[in-house]
Amino acid sequence: MNPTYKKLLARWKDISALASASGLCGWDQETMLPPRGIEARSEQESALSGVIHEKVIDPELGKMLRDLTEHPAGLTADQRACVREWVRDYEHSVKLPPELVREMARVTSLSQAAWIKARKASDFKAFAPWLEKVIALKRREADALGYKGERYDALLDTYEPEMTVAQLDPIVQQVREGLVPIVHAISRSKAKISDELLRRRYPEADQEALCKEIMTIVGLDTEAARLDRSAHPFCCGIAPTDVRITTRYDEHWLPGSLYGVIHESGHALYEQGLPAKHYGTPLAEAVSLGIHESQSRFWENVIGRSRPFVRFIFPRLKKRFPLALGRADAEAFYRSINHVMPSAIRVEADEVTYNMHVVLRYELEKGLMAGRIKVRELPALWNERMKEYLGVTPKNDAEGVLQDTHWPQGLVGYFPTYLLGNLNAAQLWNALKKDVRGAEAQVAKGELSQILGWLRKNVHCHGRRYGPAELIERATGEKPTPRYFLEYLKEKYGEIYQIDQF
């Protein structure tokens, strides 16, 4: 092994191990931490990020990276990919002035606290000064990181490497233009679909047992995973051999845990599928949020909300919940979980309307970054577009512009990855069905190993070897496109809502 590469590898393995420890601190905070421990925890996390940052920006590291970039002869293709991604991480870190990083941490911590209060009181004015501070800092951050096209590109690239507004705008436009008629057609449909079935009583302990069963059914290695409870569901990949998901239980809303756990299991399958032998290098790291979300949405929606999967799972549900489901059939359950209902709240949105929530947020945050939109204009713009896209008017700002935790946390450029995840999931499924014969029939029998195997081989095992767009193109033979997602929706919901033509 090239001696410089060997040194670099050891350093980044250390950094990666420290980042894993920091991940554990975060997981513990949401699941296990005694309430009074929060202050000490924030000191632990801040000490850890300080150490990690110091190690990443070490000029000696930068020198070694330059050496290898200029003299890559003798490096394998995998090693070159690692160097390329290390350079990306190194440059990202050195470009951000430490003073800005500290200020961002301080302001977003305070702005989150202000947001919690403001949302409770549905008082946008109380939160607006904080959002202004956050946006100003994000503009500084983008300028420090640099960009070729729009300022927003710099932030987008943080979550979705290489993605730009120039690429994303046409995609978003296609999605918006494709979705609006679908939403309208469904709202005019006479088909009677309701989610009443899912609101009956589902005892918590049985939901939990079901969730554990589901983890096994989708193919998670339970010797390398955990399921716990938290206020907001998430997946935390500490290592490919240590992946933890969480959920919450509502006795009168079965999909909260059931589809929540399938979603998080999708993330967890990706994390478990990263090659453990490369743990500590970019080859064992997720490439982007848009790819991560493609895996969760694939399992949650494409598989989990499909008719074959429901046919397979329904007899098990009936056995666990005889009181709630005793007289229902699989078809009724299938329709319930695919009930489309435009609403004001993103996290409660169905598969069809979900992306319109994302489109709205993307347009607004892009405008904020470009200076075309002022913070004070947000509530009115938000409500106008909600009306235009989904025919819904939020009751108040708590249900409108104040609903999400992303902006208060300084996560700008994050929302579009939800949309990309949905598009990628449909495009992957389309390609997978060509390679895996009788995929749907396998799903109907609960045989998911070939499907998982395809994802392992075409997505998971690469880590950050290829950028997200190249990864999709290699897996599907086509550049990323919204086409398959829109086709998927039309076919599925045309049948459910008895719509011949959109």
Q: Which is nearer to a copy of itself, 25 or 436 (CB)?
A: 25
Binding residue for a copy of itself, selected from 7, 28, 126, 399, defined by CB under 8 A: 28
Q: Which is nearer to a copy of itself, 269 or 369 (CB)?
A: 269
Q: Which is nearer to a copy of itself, 55 or 84 (CB)?
A: 55
Report the phi/psi class of residue 499: left, alpha or beta, with left for phi > 0 and alpha for psi in -120 to 50: beta
Say whether residue 450 binds a copy of itself (CB under 8 A). no
Q: Which is nearer to a copy of itself, 28 or 447 (CB)?
A: 28
Binding residue for a copy of itself, selected from 4, 7, 9, 20, defined by CB under 8 A: 20
Q: Which amino acid is at 470?
A: E
Is there a contact between 160 and 417 (Cβ–Cβ < 8 Å)? yes
Is there a contact between 268 and 225 (Cβ–Cβ < 8 Å)? yes
* Binding range to a copy of itself, per CB under 8 A, among 47-55, 82-90, 169-177, 369-377: 47-55
* Binding range to a copy of itself, per CB under 8 A, among 233-241, 320-328, 416-424, 485-493: 233-241
Q: Which is nearer to a copy of itself, 22 or 301 (CB)?
A: 22
* Binding range to a copy of itself, per CB under 8 A, among 41-49, 68-76, 201-209, 429-437: 41-49
Nearest by Cα to 297 from 237, 355, 242: 355
CA 486 to chain CA centroid, Å, is 19
Q: Which two tokens stand for residue 279?
A: 């743990």
Say whether residue 223 binds a copy of itself (CB under 8 A). yes
Is there a contact between 473 and 480 (Cβ–Cβ < 8 Å)? yes
Say whether residue 98 binds a copy of itself (CB under 8 A). no
What are the φ/ψ torsions at residue 41 (nearest 5 degrees)? -60, -40
Could you tell me the smallest distance in angstroms from the CB atom of residue 225 to a copy of itself? 6
* Binding range to a copy of itself, per CB under 8 A, among 22-30, 151-159, 361-369, 430-438: 22-30
- Name the 3-class secondary structure at 85: helix
Say whether residue 43 binds a copy of itself (CB under 8 A). yes
Say whether residue 14 binds a copy of itself (CB under 8 A). yes
Number of residues interacting with a copy of itself: please give it, by CB under 8 A: 42
Binding residue for a copy of itself, selected from 1, 47, 345, 347, defined by CB under 8 A: 47
Say whether residue 99 binds a copy of itself (CB under 8 A). no
Say whether residue 280 binds a copy of itself (CB under 8 A). yes
Q: Which is nearer to a copy of itself, 236 or 486 (CB)?
A: 236
Whose structure tokens read 């500490």? 238
Binding residue for a copy of itself, selected from 122, 187, 241, 343, defined by CB under 8 A: 241
First-to-last CA distance in the chain?
59
Binding residue for a copy of itself, selected from 175, 183, 235, 238, defined by CB under 8 A: 238
* Site mask for a copy of itself (CB under 8 A), range 183-222, x = bound: --------------------------------------xx
Binding residue for a copy of itself, selected from 121, 224, 381, 431, defined by CB under 8 A: 224
Q: Which two tokens stand for residue 2?
A: 């090239």
Could you tell me the smallest distance in angstroms from the CB atom of residue 410 to a copy of itself? 23
Whose structure tokens read 């193109």? 473
Is there a contact between 8 and 272 (Cβ–Cβ < 8 Å)? no
Cα–Cα distance for residue pair 161/138, rounded to 1 Å: 17
Cα–Cα distance for residue pair 389/357, rounded to 1 Å: 8
Nearest by Cα to 305 from 266, 360, 357, 345: 266
Say whether residue 102 binds a copy of itself (CB under 8 A). no
Binding residue for a copy of itself, selected from 18, 330, 373, 398, defined by CB under 8 A: 18
Say whether residue 225 binds a copy of itself (CB under 8 A). yes
Q: Which is nearer to a copy of itself, 13 or 376 (CB)?
A: 13
* Binding range to a copy of itself, per CB under 8 A, among 32-40, 194-202, 361-369, 426-434: 32-40
Could you tell me the smallest distance in angstroms from the CB atom of residue 189 to a copy of itself? 46
Catalytic annotation present for 264: yes
Per-residue H/E/C for 191-257: CCCCCHHHHCCCCHHHHHHHHHHHHHHHCCCHHHEEEEECCCCCEEEEECCEEEEEECCCCCCHHHH
Cα–Cα distance for residue pair 30/244, rounded to 1 Å: 12
Say whether residue 60 binds a copy of itself (CB under 8 A). no
Helical pair 59-70 and 3-31, crossing angle rounded to 10 deg? 130
- Name the 3-class secondary structure at 122: coil
Q: Which amino acid is at 323?
A: L
Say whether residue 56 binds a copy of itself (CB under 8 A). no
Could you tell me the smallest distance in angstroms from the CB atom of residue 111 to a copy of itself? 24
Cα–Cα distance for residue pair 134/125, rounded to 1 Å: 15
Q: Which is the catalytic residue, given 85, 264, 300, 351? A: 264
Cα–Cα distance for residue pair 154/138, rounded to 1 Å: 10
Is there a contact between 445 and 312 (Cβ–Cβ < 8 Å)? yes
Q: In the 8-state DSSP scheme, what is residue 415?
A: T
* Site mask for a copy of itself (CB under 8 A), range 351-390, x = bound: ----------------------------------------
Contacts of 392 (CB under 8 A, 6+ apart): 342, 343, 344, 386
Residues designated catalytic: 264
* Contacting positions for a copy of itself (CB under 8 A): 13-14, 17-18, 20-22, 24-25, 28, 32-37, 39-41, 43-44, 46-48, 50-51, 221-226, 238-244, 276, 279-280
